[in-house]
Chain A
């Protein structure tokens, strides 16, 4: 029997409920109607600020197509619940309908609290909660002018950063004597104030707002001490209040300080009505973080499916975040409120780091702590809360678990607090499912999929379970690709046989040979078919063309940026006609000619090279194309010349050999017609220059590229792409696309940004120099073959009958062109060894 669940609020928590229920309700026992007051489906509010830093509303969206198309889910946007009739069991809505329910879940979240200071409702006053709020703030922001944020907590600092991103000079007014008073202690607050002050924020702590002044619009803000800040933009970030208006209308009990009062199963005082997320006061207490909301949602889903009690396990209010580039973490009893608590403090004013551990009165149990400036010890410390210290406190503060290993953690310690996954859950999954890497753990347990701060610990756990994260390339080399790259670079070894002789065993195979060939090519060791190198190449590289299913090849000349003259198009057409080739336009804005036999390749390429074409490297693990839209030359929306930039990038990186193929795109404005964010690197024009996105991927596991740096000028863009690509070429595994590489990097995008943009390893100049070496030494591979009779000699159908076409190749016609004919498998009886000898 199908019953109806009504969910009020499609925010992060309401969405998690729907998702969890649909995942587990295999028999479709619940039809779900979701009422969402906002004009869009649920989005990642936690990442809201990134909306001003390059992400779009679609990027933030949490609702998958599957869910939106799910016939069991009826999502009504722009529709608010306005009342509940408990006797009739209906919910009334803003569009006037009455919805019957069998179960009702309230997930209405919170509203920002606006303190009643005079002038709080003038134009120019904003809150910071929804995408629409951010649109409004963006529209009101004036570059170079001051902007004021009232409230210096976590959200206030995010809002201040948002103003900064919009070009404003941000002031933060905080009533408490320090920033982030809820999370950080006084010492941490001081370090934090200094660090964010260095970034250009003006901090007013211990300051009350007296009034906001102006006639219709905000003109200035006056503080209690008489300070006046001239500003046209004020953002309130002074805490939130649960949205519990429906309580009174429906006669539901409220908690003393607001929120629908619920028990630990999230049940309200009325039958069949639950409340979850920020609007729920579990045993009287509201939680302003998403993780507790998620466990409430999962608990209620369990109850709805009668799978269990779904009791709220209590919340871990630990947080780790990067605010304006500053690491801040706070966990457990951060303020030492437990009786007899001892504090151990390490402060390094020179480095701008601060760490405090709160210990039990006998100094044996870890109760909590605060980290500012460097929070790398967080992933080790958080699971140790309320446990005996496995090592002296100073050792625990060493970076990223170098102090202790995972073995010291008890089995039931929570390793991933976002998703409430214990050490035991993870180790069981590793051994039970035979997992071998972090993505495997993410897929199986959800650990590591939210904030990512537990990922270093996941790696430790893999090691503890004896998963040898063997990096050996294959049976012939114990080293990883990265290590081999370093050996080749450091020793200057120039051939495979020397490398395997000195650093490997045996003769090699189809795994290590192409990998080493690629390393040699990346470091500029001559033509890829020179001497011994020819035998290392995969067949595509060996014949500089793409092998197709019947053993013929396809030919793709380079068309930089997709721009091509009519003359060149005619050459391609004539060639295809003459050699009877199948032609198709590729996704990368080029023309692919299929069905060429090995012995025809040099003939075709002679003509192409004469007409001014060069190899397109469609066959190589190399830069493929830089796709572009027409940009501001033609398009009326364009803000930059995307075609020129695409051509410049394509010509710069053509021929660059890499661990996998590299695709790129350049769009002339934010409309993104070149689909640049589906590429390994994507460039999108802005009013001020270019935004650079990295790590995008179509294919098997699509992934949007992420913003690496914004508003770059041409030269800055080129130097960052140089560094990004070279760093990838150097450190990625064999056949690892940039997206997988980025996911496997310790510290992910932040780390990449540190290395590439901030040059934290001091290798920026060297990466650029290696790229320049590549650029200076580029020459067309096909021209190189045509000029060398020794290389040409291998482009034959048969050595002893060079002109006899392979009889196995047959074509049939389809839509006026050729395609491979059918093959009969298994092959006609093959004479075997016994017969022959």
Chain B
């Protein structure tokens, strides 16, 4: 695993997302209310714009989600799968917290 330090955990509030750039991969980082961290691709597969980190975080039937701010499709943060369209999916990246720093691994 090729872990990279991204930012202090404090910079990322709960129920919020931030964009990061990891070896040319735009990544969207999220932190939920219960302090779980997620990292998915930042590029919305429906419009090609790097906006996923700006979506609203929530849950659907308990599954943690983010809604694209562009056309509102909802994606699972856990699997990257689009819950409104079986053919769309975001890449998912391993993410962890070390001390108070958020780290993401990319291939």
Task: Write the residues of chain A forming the contact surface with B, with a CB cutoff of 8 angstroms.
Answer: 475-476, 497, 506-510, 513-514, 531-532, 534-539, 542-543, 547, 549-551, 793-794, 796-801, 804, 806-809, 823-827, 830-833, 835-837
Check if B65 sits within 8 Å of A509, measured CB to CB: yes
Other-chain contact of A509, B12, B41, B56 (Cβ < 8 Å): B56
* Measured CA separation A542–B67 after assembly (Å): 14
Given pairs A549-B47, A806-B19, 9 additional interface contacts (CB within 8 A): A508-B59, A542-B54, A551-B70, A798-B19, A799-B20, A824-B48, A825-B45, A825-B46, A825-B47
Nearest B residue to A832, CB-CB: B91
| Minimum Cβ distance to chain A for residue B70 (Å) | 7
Q: Give 4 closest A-B pairs by Cβ, nearest first.
A: A823-B48, A551-B49, A509-B58, A539-B69
Residues of A within 8 A of B37 (CB): none
* Measured CA separation A45–B62 after assembly (Å): 58
Check if A793 sits within 8 Å of B11, measured CB to CB: yes
Nearest A residue to B54, CB-CB: A539
Check if A510 sits within 8 Å of B58, measured CB to CB: yes
Interface of A is mostly: loop
Report the interface size class on chain B. 35 or more
Residues of B within 8 A of A547 (CB): 51, 54, 69-70
* Measured CA separation A418–B9 after assembly (Å): 66
Interface residues of B in 1-33 (CB under 8 A from A): 4-7, 11-16, 18-22, 24, 26, 29, 32-33
Residues of B within 8 A of A514 (CB): 56
Other-chain contact of A536, B56, B62, B79, B94 (Cβ < 8 Å): B56
* Measured CA separation A509–B57 after assembly (Å): 6
Residues of B within 8 A of A506 (CB): 58-59, 62
Other-chain contact of A535, B19, B56, B92 (Cβ < 8 Å): B56
Chosen A-B contacts, 13 in total, with CB atoms closer than 8 Å, are: A507-B57, A507-B58, A510-B58, A535-B13, A535-B57, A547-B51, A551-B49, A798-B20, A799-B6, A799-B19, A807-B26, A831-B91, A836-B91
Check if B47 sits within 8 Å of A509, measured CB to CB: no
Check if B14 sits within 8 Å of A833, measured CB to CB: no
B60 interfacial contact with A, CB 8 Å: yes
| Minimum Cβ distance to chain A for residue B80 (Å) | 7
* Measured CA separation A767–B42 after assembly (Å): 44
Nearest A residue to B22, CB-CB: A800
Residues of A within 8 A of B55 (CB): 510, 539
Check if A535 sits within 8 Å of B16, measured CB to CB: yes
Nearest B residue to A829, CB-CB: B91
* Measured CA separation A574–B83 after assembly (Å): 45
Other-chain contact of A800, B21, B43, B47 (Cβ < 8 Å): B21
Residues of A within 8 A of B15 (CB): 507-508, 532, 535
* Measured CA separation A800–B29 after assembly (Å): 11
Check if A807 sits within 8 Å of B49, measured CB to CB: no
Residues of B within 8 A of A508 (CB): 15, 58-59
* Measured CA separation A539–B57 after assembly (Å): 11
B86 interfacial contact with A, CB 8 Å: no
State whether A830 and B51 are in contact (beta carbons under 8 Å apart), knowing that A507-B15, A798-B19 are contacts in the complex: no
* Measured CA separation A837–B79 after assembly (Å): 12
Name, among A531, A793, A794, the residue most crowded by chain B CB atoms within 10 Å (CB to CB): A794
Check if B45 sits within 8 Å of A830, measured CB to CB: yes
* Measured CA separation A514–B93 after assembly (Å): 28
Residues of A within 8 A of B26 (CB): 798, 806-808
Nearest A residue to B93, CB-CB: A836
* Measured CA separation A191–B93 after assembly (Å): 78
Check if B60 sits within 8 Å of A509, measured CB to CB: yes
Residues of A within 8 A of B74 (CB): 509-510
* Measured CA separation A761–B44 after assembly (Å): 48
B61 interfacial contact with A, CB 8 Å: yes
Residues of B within 8 A of A797 (CB): 19, 21
Residues of A within 8 A of B50 (CB): 551, 806, 808-809
Check if B43 sits within 8 Å of A808, measured CB to CB: yes
Residues of A within 8 A of B69 (CB): 538-539, 547
Residues of B within 8 A of A543 (CB): 54
* Measured CA separation A538–B57 after assembly (Å): 10
| Minimum Cβ distance to chain A for residue B22 (Å) | 8
Other-chain contact of A507, B32, B80, B89 (Cβ < 8 Å): B32
